[in-house]
Structure 1
């Protein structure tokens, strides 16, 4: 595999075969594949489709976030009824280019890759300082998960829904996924983020993950509460590098968060890997 391939797996979007999903002053909020446009032609009162310019827009009278959200709820239910969406989550995501921006509208989580809309998430590296050096807790995703079942993941990770701050969501996920007490979870530190443009068939994930580190006591053992994790393992940095470089067993976007940890903590540096600067820059700027 190699570290470059970790980036390539998550940055395989060329833009070919997609319409620009535009909002307001030609602000791109997504990309919609040609094969998806046909299903949207039935919503004449919701979208304007320009085949020559290859653009999709809302009709002019949808002037407020509430108006646009209401339309997208109807669209989502129809797409779901027609079997055109992945697993329905019953979780609303805010639509915005940057997390600091005001939401343009809200959308069901399952719809974000269909419309190529940016989703946000919070991922946490739970690590321990031992006599043998740094070690990291990693989580084996449940075989019942809708996406990437059985793959290795960050100790704690979750999508960013409407109504919670990033930190609130991170602490909530700590409790649900790893049984981390609130007092300990409150020590979590936001350390940056990674971005990528990952195409899966006709779907696109142009997403941003906010990375967190939590240094854990040596005697802490994570336990799953919500049923989304089958197992946890504590591994050293050499084994982590091997897992990332020599297997495809780590969930693609979570591998980027682990790679970011290895770079920030000096486990990987210019002397140890080629293309160090390019890899570091590409984690935060989609390749």
Structure 2
């Protein structure tokens, strides 16, 4: 096994392994070899999916009594990170935060190692009677445990707190009946494989009843990931205490100076449309193979006046640019300026508005739609 260490940085872990270097060399070699044969648009979208990394991850499981099981998978942790850091992470009382249970069988008969919170193990051991299960008490203990992980391993905390949901078979984790099992800082969530939920606003310009362009935002150079890449007009993570709609109104004002009245969500406002009923779902990861998680992308569209220009407000964006549809189409097919996942979000926008041009020899657009809405992988 490759030697591994985890360094504390201002914003995240840095995993360094000899195998990661080898992977990087192979990726560079592959890129060079394919320079004369660029990938198709479908291949670019398919490349966003990192579910092939699953064998190098272990399921993160919480105690959650239900009619079908006693447990719920809520995330997945990279094995190298788990063995080098998380297993050795202790709380303020000197107790381990995580416990690795080997060769555990689930309700389907799948036998694998699983990672659990020690507070869950202790709680289950001391409360063998299902009637003794107190969700509120366990919620608080878990949240405190995750806060200890953030405190001891991640140097800079994010202001957003993410909910921890049990993985469900259905596409959307935000349906009304889903239960929140804990809260975790956004900085830590990615390393635990907690579902990532993002909201996006596409501001577009229409002339003579034809969409002429879309405003894109260049990410600030200080962003912890993908600095200086181009994003949708507005992009933000989804905290636990806001609805998708309330969050996009807040983010739109903070990032681009979009007036809240433009986002009025009623039948009389024809310029604004809500497409959150059909999120994109992709298993994503960082380039080094860390932080594999299921990412959900929820979109809203807004037609803006021709003369209006978005204005950076909170420092998250360097500048805005109005991309023509032709420029955006070329960028989606051949460019390298977009944050990679935004290829899917913006392609979905173009398909939704009938702006995507079929090219002879390309795959059917239903395949593109399928590649942007993938099923959840099962580790346990």
TM-score of the superposed pair, with normalisation by structure 2: 0.70
Gaps of 5+ in 2: 1-38, 65-69, 104-111, 125-134, 168-172, 266-271
| Equivalence for 2:318 | 230
> 2:328 matched to 1:240?
yes
Q: Is the 1:49–1:56 contact (alpha carbons within 8 Å) kept by the matching residues of 2?
A: yes
Q: Distance in 2 between matches of 1:51 and 1:120?
A: 30
Distance 1:99 1:285 in 2: 17
1:48 to 99, 121, 128: 99
Corresponding residue for 1:142? 220
Q: Residue 18 of structure 1 aligns with which residue?
A: 57
**For structure 1, which segment, 23-32 or 245-254, has the greater mean C-alpha deviation from structure 2 after superposition?**
23-32
SS of the equivalent of 1:16 reads helix
Q: 173-182 or 267-276: which moved more?
A: 267-276
Aligned CA RMSD, in angstroms, stands at 2.1
3-state DSSP class of the match of 1:114?
helix
How many Å separate the matches in 2 of 1:118 and 1:284? 15
Instruction: Work out which of the residue numbers 171, 182, 189 in structure 1 matches 2:273.
Output: 189
Structure 1: any 5+ residue segments left out of the alignment?
Answer: 82-86
The count of residues paired between Structure 1 and Structure 2 equals 282
- Compute the displacement of 1:132 (Å): 8.9
Give the direction of change, closer, same or farther, for the CA distance of 1:268–1:139 in structure 2 (3 Å limit). Answer: same
Aligned to 2:189: 112
In the alignment, which residue of structure 2 is the partner of 1:204? 292
The alpha carbon displacement at 1:165 in A equals: 0.8
For residues 194-249 of structure 1, what are the alpha-carbon distances to aligned partners after superposition, in whole Å with 9 as ceiling and x for unaligned? 11111222221311011111111112111010011111111221110101111121
Q: Does 1:102 align with 2:165?
A: no
Instruction: Give the 3 Å change call, closer, same or farther, for CA 228–27 of structure 1 in structure 2.
Output: same
| Residue equivalent to 1:84 | none
Distance of aligned partners of 1:286 and 1:147 in 2 relative to their CA distance in 1, 3 Å threshold: farther
> Whose RCO is larger (CA < 8 A, sep 6+)?
1
Structure 1 residue ranges (4+ consecutive) displaced by more than 6 angstroms after TM superposition: none
Q: Deviations over 1:230-273 (max 9, x none)?
A: 11111221110101111121011222110101111112266764
Partner SS, residue 223 of structure 1? coil
- 1:146-168 deviation digits (Å, cap 9, x = unpaired): 11111110000100012111100
Distance in 2, matches of 1:152 and 1:233, equals 9
Structure 1's 218 and 137: CA in aligned 2 closer, same or farther, altered over 3 A?
Answer: same
1:227 partner SS: coil
Q: Are 2:180 and 1:121 equivalent residues in the alignment?
A: no
Q: CA deviation at 1:102?
A: 2.2
